[in-house]
Homo-oligomer: A and B are copies of this chain.
Amino acid sequence: MEQSLNIAWVLVGGFLVMFMQVGFALVETGFTRAKHAVNTMGMNLVIYPVGVLGFWLVGYALMLGGVREWPSLGSTIAGAHEVKLGAFGIFGAAKFALVSVAEDPSSLAMFLFASVFMDTAATIPTGALAERWRFSAFLVYGFFMSMFLYPLYGHWVWGGGWLSALGVQAGLGHGHVDFAGSTVVHMTGGLTALAGAMVLGARAGKYRRDGTILATPGHNLPFTVVGTLILAFGWFGFNAGSTLSAADPRIATIAANTMLSSSGGAFTALIYMWWMGGKPDIGMCCNGLLGGLVAITGCCAFVAPASAVLIGVIAGLITPSSVMALERRFRIDDPVGAISVHGACGIWGALAVGLFADGTYGSGWNGVEGPVRGLFFGDASQLAAQCIGLLANALFVFPAAYGFFWLVERVLGNRVPVEVEWAGLDTVEMGSEAYPRA
């Protein structure tokens, strides 16, 4: 029965993560303008079925196919280990379309759980590229992300791939450790968003010839606040579900750390902006809260509550600094701050494992005996493994995403025409307005 209950735990966690789609939809739509609201909402809606179908057909097989078993879920596939493909731990190649595992509960539970993680990563760029992305190009992106880009890097860390083997094979700590996705989900989403924002360019009129920057406040800040709180709620499933076991009492630590880090991030961003600008900036407080969540995601099981607060506080400094640097110095236009929240704080979260892991959890992780320890608790090699994982993400995900957007630009075009942007994507591109007059 324990295995059934673990399956129930993974499913409930997955449901909560799926619900985060509502949070993303509201945060992003709140931060964008009314004339693009159907488009922004629509992308957050459509990425869910598109992602699920792409992941079902191909992505799950590349990421988790035939490579792992899940003892806590009572995997019943005889010889699942034998199907391991990809000589260097680069990708899996089994369970396409779930055909071979249609009757295996553990594989189906993991499919659901992995799908919603993938959808979280895939939805991140819809924020950064909002208000200018052609819907057909977005659709092609949805399949690319769910079938190839996310699953490949995901395989390296969670599917038995080479980054997870850095401990066993190279003696670097426990290999690259990412508890619930600071790198796999958030950095991947954030760097893909960055690549997209670079290829697409800024929204029309954002950067004026005289050097000034057009302020483009979102049209519904209450949506953003509600979406943020919804994300904080669903994130408990993200992190606590990642034990894959309700029988692991560490879920209490994980959930408490998640709450504490998000609080640290929100409070710090609020005070920082108040001190900088004289007003409590509620929008940035939302992003600080989300930054705290992203940062704790990778390390939530390995650190003490006080460390979680500190990790969140630092994320609450990183987020507004990164938002302002991207907008002003690098002139990269990200209407919702997704690159900073998910990319920058994802990097910070992966480093935090290598710094703050305190040796109270993780024995046997990636096949390495003994608990996970970071630099401050005696193991510098863990920090090295974390850095290698970050580098791999930066050197694979970013160029691959950049190349994808570049190719779409040649073949199909990534952007709507500038006059559609001015008129609003909703009337022209989507054919419906968000708030029509009666």
Contacts and interface: CB of A to CB of B under 8 A. Distances in A.
A263 interface: yes
Contact of A267 (B41, B53, B286): B53
Contact of A18 (B18, B74, B232, B435): B232
Interface stretch (A275-283, A327-335, A385-393, A404-412): A275-283
Nearest to A33: B438
A133 to B, nearest CB: 12
Contacts of A221: 37-38, 41, 432-435
Contacts of A384: none
A11 interface: yes
Interface string A20-31: 011001100100
A283 B432 contact: yes
Contacts of A34: 438
A313 to B, nearest CB: 10
A6 to B, nearest CB: 10
A255 B112 contact: yes
Given A9-B8, A430-B279, A25 B225 contact: yes
A436 B74 CA distance: 53
Interface of chain A: mostly helix, strand, loop or mixed:
helix
Copies in the complex: 3
Contacts of A25: 222, 225-226, 229
A438 B226 CA distance: 21
Contacts of A266: 45-46, 48-49
A246 B112 CA distance: 17
Nearest to A103: B360
Contact of A247 (B5, B98, B228, B256): B5
Interface string A190-226: 0000000000000000000000000001111111011
A179 interface: no
Closest 4 CB pairs of A and B: A279-B431, A49-B263, A105-B249, A105-B252
Given A25-B229, A112-B256, 10 more contacts: A5-B246, A18-B236, A25-B225, A29-B222, A48-B229, A52-B263, A53-B267, A102-B304, A105-B249, A219-B438
12 contacts: A4-B249, A11-B252, A15-B237, A22-B233, A38-B221, A49-B264, A102-B304, A135-B280, A217-B436, A218-B436, A222-B434, A279-B430
